[in-house]
Structure 1
Amino acid sequence: MAIILWILLVVYLLVIFITIGYLLLQNRPPEQTSTWALTILFIPIIGLFLYYNFGRNYRKNKVFSRKALFDQQQLHKFSYEQRMDVDHADFEGHGSIDRKKSIIKLLLNNSKSILTMGNNVALLSNGEETFNSIVEELKEAQDHIHFEFYIFLEDNIGSVIRNILLEKARKGVEVRFMYDGLGSMDLSKDFISRMEEAGAEVYAFSPVRFPYFANYINYRNHRKIIVIDGKVGYVGGINIADRYKDGHSALGMWRDTHLRLEGSSVHSLQAVFLNDWHYVSNKEVTDDQYFPYHPMAEKVPVQITSSGPDSDWESIMQAYFKAITTADDSVAIITPYFMPPTSIITALKTAALSGVDVKVILPANSDVPFLLYSSFSFVQELLEAGVAVFLYQNGFNHSKIIIVDDVIASVGSANLDRRSFEKNLEINAMIYNKEFACELREKFE
């Protein structure tokens, strides 16, 4: 018996040695590496169990390598040409671009995000405005509807949208519907079968399979994208659920922010959707009909940027970092979940200590209380550096917004936390326009 125990101990120590060696070879932030190493060393057996179920990047590397390759091939040819243009272009009349050109170049380099100039951008400040606009535009669809959401519930607004999609599909409009396999795991088989019978294509992103639930918690598709006829697009933080319009029984009104886009930025949204669609369906859709010419009288510059486990860089996090560290006058942030990496905390403190007016709005109440209390752990050091931190009291603010110097603003799906920056597929719109930034600032105040 003693020999067997010694053999088991040697095997266990060998597994620990190999695991920590593998962990050290991975390209992780140092604090993550040290946390997992200490967990494995000082919590016998359980530490190994936790790491192999929740800490490995194996599934990320396996699942997203093919997707990343396809995405990069599609976007590289466009971004290279524009990098040359940004270096030499004269952006007369667009002071926001001249002041923030380094951010544009950063996003071109780290995520192949193309700057689009001819856009109409409408700010939608709550669920009611957003759903009314979406329903109106869906009813006008003639060629195709592309739908990509983290959460789609079969409640009142979900049923309204479903019925429009069914009607359009039966009339020959191409409907492609993509939902996250975890966020929308309650979507019924009846919903899917009715959509498919009407002629729509429906796919789940990374469907959850039991008993391997732990392997599917990470790397979710948190994006919210709608593209209609390649001319109108929606992006932001609002999922398809009644709570965004009617509020929450415990939290009160559910505040969030979305954008309605027209112009060439819609083509960027379309490209992200079609890359994701190729991943879930293995169908490549590149016809010109999905990228129609649709000139706009307004010329608001917009850069659509996406990031996720299929990205080489944490592009949205880097954009936030760059925007904060290059701010001259002000930084305003709203986020429902605030567990940022050390780099963002340092950037916020450094900006405040440099005389920049830095304000952060966090929710006073949350749908995930544990994350709320974790967020508060960062507040004291921010206050000591001069960052003004406010708690939103009128319900639950689920918006994800950053405004810098009142000339550039970002609205999208990404929270200021590690899950959004490193684990989930996210999408944000960067708007380089003083009028829009000031409009958003008024909502902020």
Structure 2
Amino acid sequence: MPPLLTYLLFGIYAVTILGIVLVIITDNRNPLKTVPWIVVLLFAPVVGLLFYFFFGQNLSKRRILSRRMRKRIHMQLLEAGPDERKELPAQYRPLARLLGNAGHSIPLCGSRITPYVDGASKMEALLGDIAAAHDHIHLQYYILNDDTTGLRLRNALMAKAREGVEIRILYDDVGSSSVHKRFFEEMRRAGIEVRPFLHVKFPLFTSKVNYRNHRKIAVIDGRTGYIGGMNIADRYVVGTDWGTWRDTHFRVEGPGVAGLQASFLSDWAATTRIRLRDERYYPRTERFTHNIMQVLPSGPFGKWRTLLQADSYAIANARRRIWIETPYFLPSDVLNTALQTAALAGIDVRLLLPARSDSRVVDLATHSFLDDMLKAGAKVYFYQPGFLHSKLLLIDDGLSVIGSANMDFRSFEHNFEINAFVYDGDFAAVMADIFHRDMEQSRLVTPGEWFHRPRSRRFAESLMRLFSPLL
């Protein structure tokens, strides 16, 4: 290549990198994310540029749903709310206002919530509710595999479609990328509406691949719903070659289903540009309990990172205990500091993590955060039988946070997630029992063993921590 052309190409590349660095800086992103991107761009020529185009563009200021349409869906949810409203305990009212102001979430009173701690029982319950459906079925999953579990679901849905039941499915285009097109086409031919969320293809590939819909929702007839961490895949039912795939999902009956329905209909409108307005999607439902439930969808588009703000606020205001189950622990600086501060203040902080996860890189980055947690007095447990994929935040004796979000940057910053904040002592006691059962199958990490792990291991953890905002 002639020297002049070489210098010209190098100059164009240098100007491009400088321009991107300036864009990243002027975006006013979290410094913990800004610095790693600048390091990648400067010290990984060409590769860093390609990586940024695929995963680094900031689309948070864009909208996938107009304010007008979002307001209409929110008003429909408000109208569907119960006539009688129970007063929240005083200590949770600021949190509830935060969820309302930043996330348009309203308190829904009287839901019956049934937890499932294994994929087999959850699938049987879901298939049973699908078989009993009369009007409509709405499903949304990050992973909707065409394995044995997925085929059982497909066959059940196609049978209901032949009966005239309306069925709509949203799946994530990246999470379900390995699924054969035939799987979805067969459902479409049966009359089921199936759509990918944020469809990925060139030339739009670089602007969408990093923003994924991680929600797992089912709504049947507007009266029964599901929320949690389980996708549709065999590993949730039969486990993996190296152990069980431990996760938690929840069946919801009553008013709380309206919150799940509003989230699904918002995503459906964003995908299809069609708003479903029929009142039958929000039927009046029976009140089964005295609990209060706020359903909080969160995502990367918009000003506020509501889920991160809500979790941080709840943790900062805990008075007795903070128990966390999560497969990936990559907390933001605010969340990390809040947990350490709580532990230093004598609050019972416990982290229940998998001893082995499905990502070696994430494992290393996760472990880099545990030194300071242990020094602050938090207790760390490693789940032994297999992979712990469950998500739970338990605050004191009255607040449980359940849903799809992990305790990591991706869930807080990039993914579309959905969590439910449940204000109820009885439900918190049930979740505490589940936590205890998982803890009994876990190993308590002692400071003595942890601080004497090999230096090479500690260096690898510290190195991966630099990239934790990007994982």
Normalised by the length of structure 1, the TM-score is 0.91
Q: Report the counterpart of residue 232 of structure 1 in structure 2.
A: 224
2:113 aligned with 1:121 = yes
1:213-228 residue pairs with structure 2 within 5 A? 215-228=207-220
Q: Report the counterpart of residue 270 of structure 1 in structure 2.
A: 261
Give the letter aligned to residue 39 of structure 2.
L
2:165 aligned with 1:180 = no
Give the letter aligned to residue 50 of structure 1.
F
Q: Report the counterpart of residue 146 of structure 2 in structure 1.
A: 154
1:159-170 residue pairs with structure 2 within 5 A? 159-170=151-162
- Out of 288, 313, 329, the residue aligned to residue 338 of structure 1 is 329
Residues 400 and 3 (structure 1), Cα distance of their counterparts in 2 relative to 1, 3 Å cut: same
Q: Report the counterpart of residue 416 of structure 2 in structure 1.
A: 425
Task: Compute the displacement of 1:373 (Å).
Answer: 1.8
Q: Report the counterpart of residue 20 of structure 1 in structure 2.
A: 21
Task: Compute the displacement of 1:370 (Å).
Answer: 1.6
Residues 163 and 10 (structure 1), Cα distance of their counterparts in 2 relative to 1, 3 Å cut: closer
Q: Check the 8 A contact 2:109/2:293 in 1, yes or no.
A: yes
Q: Report the counterpart of residue 441 of structure 2 in structure 1.
A: none
- Out of 50, 65, 68, the residue aligned to residue 67 of structure 1 is 65
Q: Check the 8 A contact 2:63/2:302 in 1, yes or no.
A: no
Q: Report the counterpart of residue 445 of structure 2 in structure 1.
A: none
Q: Check the 8 A contact 1:68/1:311 in 2, yes or no.
A: no
Give the letter aligned to residue 100 of structure 2.
L
Task: Compute the displacement of 1:120 (Å).
Answer: 1.2
Task: Compute the displacement of 1:224 (Å).
Answer: 0.3
Give the letter aligned to residue 110 of structure 2.
G
Cα deviation code 1:98-149 (max 9, x no counterpart)? 2221211111111111110121111222212211211111110000000100
Structure 2: stretches of 5+ with no match in the other structure: 437-471
Q: Report the counterpart of residue 408 of structure 1 in structure 2.
A: 399
Q: Check the 8 A contact 2:254/2:288 in 1, yes or no.
A: no
2:306 aligned with 1:315 = yes
Cα deviation code 1:19-61 (max 9, x no counterpart)? 2221111141012112222333344444333323321125x65
C-alpha distance in structure 2 between counterparts of 1:286 and 1:116, whole Å? 20
2:291 aligned with 1:297 = no
Give the letter aligned to residue 322 of structure 2.
V
2:43 aligned with 1:51 = no
Give the letter aligned to residue 65 of structure 2.
K
Task: Compute the displacement of 1:334 (Å).
Answer: 0.3
Q: Check the 8 A contact 1:158/1:240 in 2, yes or no.
A: yes
Q: Check the 8 A contact 2:108/2:255 in 1, yes or no.
A: yes
Which stretch has the larger CA shift, 235-244 or 15-24? 15-24
Task: Compute the displacement of 1:209 (Å).
Answer: 2.6
Q: Check the 8 A contact 2:141/2:171 in 1, yes or no.
A: yes
C-alpha distance in structure 1 between counterparts of 2:179 and 2:411, whole Å? 23
Q: Check the 8 A contact 1:150/1:222 in 2, yes or no.
A: yes
C-alpha distance in structure 1 between counterparts of 2:46 and 2:149, whole Å? 47
Q: Check the 8 A contact 1:67/1:310 in 2, yes or no.
A: no
Task: Compute the displacement of 1:229 (Å).
Answer: 0.3
Residues 70 and 253 (structure 1), Cα distance of their counterparts in 2 relative to 1, 3 Å cut: farther
Which stretch has the larger CA shift, 45-54 or 224-233? 45-54
2:33 aligned with 1:35 = no
Task: Compute the displacement of 1:78 (Å).
Answer: 7.4
Q: Report the counterpart of residue 364 of structure 1 in structure 2.
A: 355
Which stretch has the larger CA shift, 192-201 or 418-427? 192-201
- Out of 233, 251, 271, the residue aligned to residue 241 of structure 1 is 233
Cα deviation code 1:157-185 (max 9, x no counterpart)? 22221111101111110000111111112
**SS, match of residue 299 in structure 1:** coil
Task: Compute the displacement of 1:409 (Å).
Answer: 0.3
Residues 105 and 245 (structure 1), Cα distance of their counterparts in 2 relative to 1, 3 Å cut: same
Structure 1: stretches of 5+ with no match in the other structure: none
C-alpha distance in structure 1 between counterparts of 2:101 and 2:156, whole Å? 39
2:425 aligned with 1:434 = yes
Q: Report the counterpart of residue 377 of structure 1 in structure 2.
A: 368
C-alpha distance in structure 2 between counterparts of 1:128 and 1:186, whole Å? 22
Normalised by the length of structure 2, the TM-score is 0.86
C-alpha distance in structure 1 between counterparts of 2:379 and 2:233, whole Å? 32
C-alpha distance in structure 2 between counterparts of 1:6 and 1:162, whole Å? 57
Give the letter aligned to residue 359 of structure 2.
V
Q: Check the 8 A contact 2:134/2:221 in 1, yes or no.
A: yes
- Out of 68, 87, 97, the residue aligned to residue 105 of structure 1 is 97
Which stretch has the larger CA shift, 232-241 or 297-306? 297-306
C-alpha distance in structure 2 between counterparts of 1:222 and 1:47, whole Å? 26
C-alpha distance in structure 1 between counterparts of 2:68 and 2:353, whole Å? 37
Q: Check the 8 A contact 2:77/2:282 in 1, yes or no.
A: no
* Runs of 4+ deviating beyond 6 Å: 78-82
C-alpha distance in structure 1 between counterparts of 2:12 and 2:144, whole Å? 47
**SS, match of residue 300 in structure 2:** coil
Q: Check the 8 A contact 1:79/1:113 in 2, yes or no.
A: no
**SS, match of residue 66 in structure 1:** coil
Cα deviation code 1:190-218 (max 9, x no counterpart)? 22222122211111112333687655431
| Root mean square deviation of aligned Cα | 2.4
Residues 202 and 79 (structure 1), Cα distance of their counterparts in 2 relative to 1, 3 Å cut: closer
